[in-house]
């Protein structure tokens, strides 16, 4: 049975990996709080002790505002340390990056992995730096540029703010929500992302867009979600521009295919018995 070391096992993605993959792999983790205080040598020794076949790095700080004012240890330093440990032990490193590397892109339409990047926020800058440094240290590493993910409360797993919950809460409270007609990005059902992480473990080294594609702007996407949910929400329109929409054809060429953003919501609601 393949041994997988999961970082961030108590987080939004990592906890679902631990729940969905139980029994299929020998899953191991670092002690709770270890990565918060450990230096590089301690991380290296822990990896040497575990000797995993795969290091799945899901631990990260995804709060872009926090990252603008604080060191981004989890987003840059830890993946680099893990890349060195993976290269030393022969483990396969699979680490999450983000669609935020595309922030500031003026090109329209779905964005491929190989376009020039100059992220407009510190979080995206850190993720791009991580990708570049990890690939130098560990060319076999797989870096997955993930979209904004969502889930419903359930399975006694951690939950965080997401498009689905934001719309449901706004409807319940009679509040308005605001999206831009010039904002484009994919939104991904996290449990499908975790399922498709399994074939991603054997991808050739490199960077991959990883998540649901979306041909619609965020105003239309929010309205489509509200209609599918059967709720009434006051969705107000803005016009600020952003394009984080990813072209996932490189991933599809490897046989890994996500639902569209809209079909992913249907999958989520069916999983929870709501459709």
| Residues 6+ away with beta carbon under 8 Å from 136 | none
The pLDDT assigned to 64 comes to 54
> Does residue 63 register a pLDDT over 80?
no
Pairwise CA distance, residues 151 & 164, whole Å: 7
The pLDDT assigned to 150 comes to 97
Q: Report, as an integer, the average pLDDT of 62-81.
A: 71
> Does residue 204 register a pLDDT over 90?
yes
pLDDT band, very low/low/confident/very high, at 72 (cuts 50, 70, 90): confident
Q: Report, as an integer, the average pLDDT of 69-76.
A: 72
> Does residue 66 register a pLDDT over 80?
no
> Are residues 143 and 206 in contact, defined by beta-carbon separation less than 8 angstroms?
yes
Tokens of 137: 């240290």
Quick: pLDDT tens for 2-57: 999 999 999 999 999 999 999 999 999 999 888 888 899 999 999 999 999 999 99
Q: Report, as an integer, the average pLDDT of 181-208.
A: 98
> Does residue 182 register a pLDDT over 80?
yes
Q: What is the mean pLDDT of the chain?
A: 94
Quick: pLDDT tens for 124-157: 999 999 999 999 999 999 999 999 999 999 888 9
Q: Report, as an integer, the average pLDDT of 220-225.
A: 98
> Are residues 159 and 104 in contact, defined by beta-carbon separation less than 8 angstroms?
no
């Amino acid at each position: 049975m393949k041994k997988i070391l999961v970082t961030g096992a108590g987080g939004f993605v990592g906890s679902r990996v631990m729940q969905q993959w139980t029994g299929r792999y020998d899953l191991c983790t670092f002690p709770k709080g270890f990565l918060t205080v450990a230096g590089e040598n301690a991380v290296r020794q822990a990896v040497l002790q575990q000797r995993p076949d795969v290091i799945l790095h899901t631990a990260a700080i995804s709060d872009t505002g926090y990252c603008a004012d604080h060191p981004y240890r989890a987003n840059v330093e830890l993946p680099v340390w893990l890349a060195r440990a993976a290269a030393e032990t022969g483990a396969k490193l699979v680490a999450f990056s983000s669609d935020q590397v595309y922030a500031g892109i003026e090109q329209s339409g779905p964005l491929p992995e190989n376009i020039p990047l100059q992220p407009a926020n510190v979080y995206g800058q850190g993720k791009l730096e991580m990708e570049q440094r990890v690939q130098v240290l560990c060319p076999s590493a797989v870096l997955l540029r993930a979209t904004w993910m969502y889930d419903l409360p359930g399975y006694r797993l951690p939950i965080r703010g997401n498009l689905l919950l934001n719309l449901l809460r706004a409807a319940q409270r009679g509040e308005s929500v605001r999206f831009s007609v010039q904002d484009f990005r994919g939104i991904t059902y996290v449990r499908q992302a975790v399922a498709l992480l399994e074939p991603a473990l054997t991808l050739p080294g490199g960077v991959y867009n990883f998540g649901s594609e979306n041909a619609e702007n965020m105003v239309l996407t929010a309205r489509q979600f509200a209609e599918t949910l059967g709720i009434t929400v006051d969705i107000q329109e803005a016009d600020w521009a952003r394009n984080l929409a990813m072209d996932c054809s490189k991933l599809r060429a490897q046989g890994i295919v996500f639902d569209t953003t809209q079909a992913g919501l249907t999958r989520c609601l069916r999983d929870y018995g709501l459709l």
